[in-house]
Structure 1
Amino acid sequence: MLFASATAFAADKADFDVLITGGTVIDGSGAAGYKADVGIVDDEIVAIGPGLGKTRSAARTIDATGQVVAPGYIDVHTHADKAVLGDEKSRRAALNLLYQGITTINIGADGRHSRKYANRVRGQIAKQYKFLESQPAGMNIFVLLGHDNIRKEVMGADDYKRFSTDKEMSRMADLVRRYMKEGALGMSLGLEYASGRYSDEEELVYLAKAVADYDRRGIIIAHERATGPQHRYYLPSGHNADGLYEDRFRKYPDGWDVIDYVKEGIRIAEQSGVVFDFTHFKITHQSYWGKAREIIDLIEEARGRGAKIYAEQIAFTNSGNSPMNLSLIPTKYYRGKDYSLDELLQTLENPKKNMELRADIAWQIDKHGGPESVELIASKRQPQWVGQTLLEIGQELGMSDPVDVVLEVKKRGDATLPNGGRYRSIQTLSAEDIDEFVKQDWFGTVTDAGIYDLDGGFAQPRVFASFTNKITEFVFERKAITLEHAIRAGTGLPAEMLSLSGRGLLKEGYKADVQVFDPDALAVNARWTLRNSRAYSSGMSYVLVNGEFALDNGKPTFEMAGQVIRNKDAWKH
């Protein structure tokens, strides 16, 4: 347990406003932890060393014996925009992030910055910063400009499903420069989403050059084009995903996989000089597991040539926005919303359609980790199968092909559901691949989270515990990395990636963004279940944001001490 006590010294006579004593300092650089005290005045760390509490006074002293004292985490991929640009103080405190030890976040991920000021071409970024200065959040915030925003601004809301022209690229680059001048630290891409998925590499290099021309410390944070053998919307029966990507398929008739995406990102970085980050990087599809080393080698070679390339992960072996409600039988095989079994049986009687349907189901099973990962979690008509995987149900039925199992569950299951029941994925990512990635000194951690409270339906555990799980699973359980490595992945590393001056390390002269946690009590409480997916991480005792207590003895203070970070603030040196 931690014990907090005010000293007998008056605040105006004390050497420190806050003194944290007796803890193990892990400073965010990757260096080994060491015993030291940490002294804070106003919003700055002013002293780090042993025995400060014996000779110096403090307005408040925290006994951190047995605890880790580390920099607050920097999360470069959140979806906190709506909450922090809103008026609800409780949401601007961002408790699901705070309990993980996060003190700095972005807004403007996945190619989309907030449309709060979308009626203005000028000021879309500047006005977000001004709002956050007038109504601070509980964390420090930097803004990314959105590729999707500028693309639609130039090409129109109804005419973006194509490659851009040279003239349009030039106008987009003008907007990039404008929003960089307004303080953005860089640009985000959403290459699976409209309208980013319609962009070509030529456009992305052109715009990346505009970022780098403003300042070579500017960053591109890119949501992927693909995570496995094909793009997100691919099905074997419909390679072009119902008309998506028409320009791209004329240029790339065989589609593209995660390796192609990595190579594209490397070319963007090398041709533009920009900092390039593969955000929430992962390899999906069981058939593609094991490709981590090939990807690491590609990135290492590019970094060796001087490219400024980084990546980060959501620290779980499951992924996707719908892991509790998988689509195995595509709804295009039904004409209506009643998901008629008769329609499906008619499809199966047609040899060509039968082959297409089976290939599509097999693709979906592979995408979600294979038959041993796809679990039936709800079936009113066949409750005895609930809690079993396709592999286990198949063994019970004497079926070796998991596609046959999916069809059998539909035949015997709930008539109104396209799959005859509800499925979840247990593991969509290879733990061995993740072990390879997390060891790299350029591979960080993110949540990809909005601001969530404890009420509501299923929420991915990443929302409440990505940074926590990085330690509990990959340090303590799997022993893939050290605690110092895990902490650097969320502190010193993102600060390096963003060229973020004065944050990311426990260092004299740096901002007092500090977390204090009990490693023995650190725990992930959010579960991959429908009933208890929303739960704050435990073990975090104190979090200070710019020297103010945001979490005090495990309880939120709702102190809105966050500061805005414009590029001129980040890039002081």
Structure 2
Amino acid sequence: MSNVVHIFFVLFSMVLLPACSRQVPEEEYDLVIRNGWVLDGLGNPAQKADVAIVGDRFVKVGAVTAAGAREIDATGKYVSPGWIDMMDQSGQVLLKNGRAENKVLMGVTSAIGGEGGTAVPAGELRAYFRTLEEQGISINFGSYYNAWQARSAVLAENITTVTDADIAAMQAQMRLAMEAGAVGMSSTAFYPPMSLLTTRELIEMSRAIAPYGGIYAAHMRDESEKLLSAIEEMITIAEQASVAVEIYHFKSAFAPHWGSEIHKAIDLVNRARSRGIDIAANQYPYTAGGTGIDATVPRWVWEEGEEEAVKLLRDPDVRSRLKTEIADPHSDRMVNNSGGWQNITLANAYNEKYTDYHGKRFTEIAELVNKDPADAAWDIMLEALPNRAYALYHLMSEGDVKAIMQQPWVSIGSDAGAAEVLGEVDAIGLPHPRAYGTFPRIIAKYVREDGLLTLADAIRKMTSLSAKRMRLSDRGVIKQGKYADVVIFDYDNIQDNATWQQPLRTPTGIDYVLVNGVVVAEQGKHTGKTPGRVLYGPGYQSQ
């Protein structure tokens, strides 16, 4: 070979080699999922396909001819984007144990927490998020910052007079949280003292998050007799603050209105959406909610704080007055909403003396302790302090749950936290089956058994709908270039095994769960891997 030809050949090779090296050789896929029925997450019918992953991303969907470093045979199984929990309660517990085993084992790969706010104040939020990733988490996690957190940073707890300067300071807290990575603002105005938050305060704080693309999500002031007025408040805030709003755990929690009011509520939301209001909701697939026994006590008792409330609740004359008040059919507390004490069960007394009463109705407990049901409940509540004793409130009808689920703008949220120890209660101390069964239940009951949803639409509600809502543009779908969050499940055998009687049982039929391309659950067991990432909100500004 002449010197001229040799030099030409070397130079030509140098030009070609970098181009060739940029392509992924087929034998170097990190993981290939073979022969599964792929649900893309967008609501399209399942397609038989292979899925190839390199690093944390999908790189090919279709016929993958060469092998990966690891292969999963999904023959006869469905391959779905990872499921997104729109109402998570894991903000605190992830600092103690980032594995979130009960979440992972029911297919959750991403969770949005913060109904009650971030686990730390706004000024510490950046460090908190860094700590999660440094310690390791198995799921992707984002969080709202609560309006009451902003208010409390500015005002003492029970102050009702709010000045323009106070509002400005609250807005500054909101901006601080948004720039640190919060996904938006939450509120829980149903509960005292958070019910002191006025519509004006919520509008003005929402105005602070709107430029960042944040969402306002709320446990509304009322989910019972005044459900429609509570939704109207959400719509007003959305209109006046130009902000997207999300209704937490959408329901009609008022026994006298079962079967009727929810249809008016749905129509109210649909009419708002038709005129351009960005309003949507999430729900959990159960007819009972869970919260503290304190929710049975009239609001005024809590106006001066917990210490004063405890004194009032120990006074027999006050007790007599309270019993009369909650017997009023227009009372907005949980006894009337549930249709009576017979529809409320003790969930967690935080007291060994009452352990045998867990799962019993308060009417049954009352007979066993020879007390009025209200006295039995409130005594258990007071004896649990400083812990918050919990109850399950059977305050929804199955028909209403189904009516909500059929709305295309309703996504899925468990309203439950990660368990610090698998097989124990979740982070908020409430043994409700939703902490272990929410997502498989959607498929097992409402798709396979009831035929209420198609499988493709159920998956859409659990994936792309949530991702789009939360501005997670790279998640929620199986598509080349997107993050490789995956659930592989057996449609015929997927089952939520958690029940009211045994709420801490893990599901079956979920074979694999991947987060960012890493297998975190395999054949019903957690792998110990922690590849999760913080889901920073759209206003995040790195420093």
Structures share fold, TM-score greater than 0.5: yes
From 493, 500, 520, the counterpart of 2:492: 520
Shift of 1:498: 1.1
User: What secondary structure, in the 3-state scheme, does the structure 1 residue paired with 2:456 have?
Assistant: helix
1:358-377 maps to which residues of 2 (within 5 A)? 358-359=327-328, 366-369=336-339, 373=343
Deviations 1:294-313 (A, max 9, x none): 11111111111111111000
Deviations 1:139-164 (A, max 9, x none): 11123222121111111xx3444152
Question: Match for residue 406 of structure 2?
Answer: 439
Change (3 A) 1:455 1:182: closer
Task: Kindly provide the amino acid, as one letter, of the partner of residue 209 in structure 2.
Answer: V
Deviations 1:551-573 (A, max 9, x none): 123221110101122235999xx
Q: Is 2:227 aligned against 1:221?
A: no
Question: Match for residue 148 of structure 1?
Answer: 148
Deviations 1:300-342 (A, max 9, x none): 111111111110001111112269x996999x9x9999999xx
Shift of 1:455: 3.4
User: What secondary structure, in the 3-state scheme, does the structure 2 residue paired with 1:526 have?
Assistant: coil
The CA distance in 1 between the partners of 2:534 and 2:227, in whole Å, is 35
CA contact (8 A) 1:414 1:420 kept: no
Shift of 1:64: 0.7
From 88, 96, 117, the counterpart of 2:102: 96
Task: Kindly provide the amino acid, as one letter, of the partner of residue 132 in structure 2.
Answer: L
Q: Is 2:42 aligned against 1:29?
A: yes
Question: Match for residue 19 of structure 1?
Answer: 32
From 80, 83, 86, the counterpart of 2:93: 83
The CA distance in 2 between the partners of 1:424 and 1:134, in whole Å, is 36
User: What secondary structure, in the 3-state scheme, does the structure 1 residue paired with 2:27 have?
Assistant: coil
The CA distance in 2 between the partners of 1:570 and 1:167, in whole Å, is 25
Question: Match for residue 279 of structure 1?
Answer: 248
Shift of 1:192: 2.0
Give the % identical residues: 29
Question: Match for residue 129 of structure 1?
Answer: 129
Structure holding more helix per residue? 2
Deviations 1:46-85 (A, max 9, x none): 1111x32xx2221111111111110111112211112212
Change (3 A) 1:56 1:167: same
CA contact (8 A) 1:164 1:199 kept: no
Q: Is 2:77 aligned against 1:67?
A: yes
1:552-567 maps to which residues of 2 (within 5 A)? 552-567=522-537
User: What secondary structure, in the 3-state scheme, does the structure 2 residue paired with 1:31 have?
Assistant: coil
Change (3 A) 1:179 1:520: same
Shift of 1:447: 1.0
Task: Kindly provide the amino acid, as one letter, of the partner of residue 224 in structure 1.
Answer: M
Change (3 A) 1:512 1:569: farther
Deviations 1:513-542 (A, max 9, x none): 00101112211111212xx22111111110
Change (3 A) 1:388 1:164: closer
Deviations 1:470-506 (A, max 9, x none): 2222212222211111111111111111111200111
User: What secondary structure, in the 3-state scheme, does the structure 1 residue paired with 2:507 have?
Assistant: coil
Question: Match for residue 352 of structure 2?
Answer: none
Task: Kindly provide the amino acid, as one letter, of the partner of residue 287 in structure 2.
Answer: T
Task: Kindly provide the amino acid, as one letter, of the partner of residue 198 in structure 1.
Answer: L
Shift of 1:15: 3.8
Question: Match for residue 538 of structure 1?
Answer: 508
Change (3 A) 1:567 1:533: closer
From 215, 237, 241, the counterpart of 1:268: 237
Question: Match for residue 57 of structure 2?
Answer: 44
From 483, 486, 492, the counterpart of 2:455: 483
1:93-492 maps to which residues of 2 (within 5 A)? 93-110=99-116, 112-115=117-120, 118=121, 122=123, 124-155=124-155, 158-213=156-211, 215=212, 217-229=213-225, 257-289=226-258, 290-321=260-291, 358-359=327-328, 366-369=336-339, 373=343, 413-415=368-370, 418=373, 427-452=394-419, 453-455=422-424, 459-492=431-464
CA contact (8 A) 1:151 1:160 kept: no
CA contact (8 A) 2:86 2:411 kept: no
CA contact (8 A) 2:36 2:48 kept: yes
User: What secondary structure, in the 3-state scheme, does the structure 2 residue paired with 1:14 have?
Assistant: helix
Shift of 1:435: 1.3
Shift of 1:287: 0.7
Question: Match for residue 15 of structure 2?
Answer: none
| TM-score normalised by the chain length of structure 2 | 0.80
| TM-score normalised by the chain length of structure 1 | 0.76
CA contact (8 A) 2:253 2:337 kept: yes
Task: Kindly provide the amino acid, as one letter, of the partner of residue 414 in structure 1.
Answer: V
The CA distance in 2 between the partners of 1:442 and 1:106, in whole Å, is 17
Shift of 1:266: 0.8
The CA distance in 1 between the partners of 2:198 and 2:183, in whole Å, is 23
The CA distance in 2 between the partners of 1:84 and 1:280, in whole Å, is 22
The CA distance in 1 between the partners of 2:73 and 2:111, in whole Å, is 28
Deviations 1:62-114 (A, max 9, x none): 1111111101111122111122123xxxx31101111111111123323x211
Shift of 1:365: 5.2
Change (3 A) 1:108 1:522: same
Change (3 A) 1:495 1:424: closer
Shift of 1:228: 0.2
Aligned alpha-carbon RMSD (Å) = 3.7
Question: Match for residue 401 of structure 1?
Answer: none
The CA distance in 1 between the partners of 2:430 and 2:188, in whole Å, is 24
Gaps of 5+ in 1: 1-10, 230-256, 378-385, 391-405
The CA distance in 2 between the partners of 1:500 and 1:353, in whole Å, is 47
The CA distance in 2 between the partners of 1:27 and 1:176, in whole Å, is 36
Question: How many residues are treated as equivalent by the alignment?
Answer: 484
User: What secondary structure, in the 3-state scheme, does the structure 2 residue paired with 1:311 have?
Assistant: strand
User: What secondary structure, in the 3-state scheme, does the structure 2 residue paired with 1:485 have?
Assistant: helix
The CA distance in 2 between the partners of 1:182 and 1:339, in whole Å, is 46
CA contact (8 A) 1:275 1:497 kept: no
Change (3 A) 1:210 1:356: closer
User: What secondary structure, in the 3-state scheme, does the structure 2 residue paired with 1:125 have?
Assistant: helix
User: What secondary structure, in the 3-state scheme, does the structure 2 residue paired with 1:32 have?
Assistant: coil
CA contact (8 A) 2:338 2:395 kept: yes
The CA distance in 2 between the partners of 1:555 and 1:128, in whole Å, is 28
The CA distance in 2 between the partners of 1:288 and 1:278, in whole Å, is 19
CA contact (8 A) 2:182 2:540 kept: no
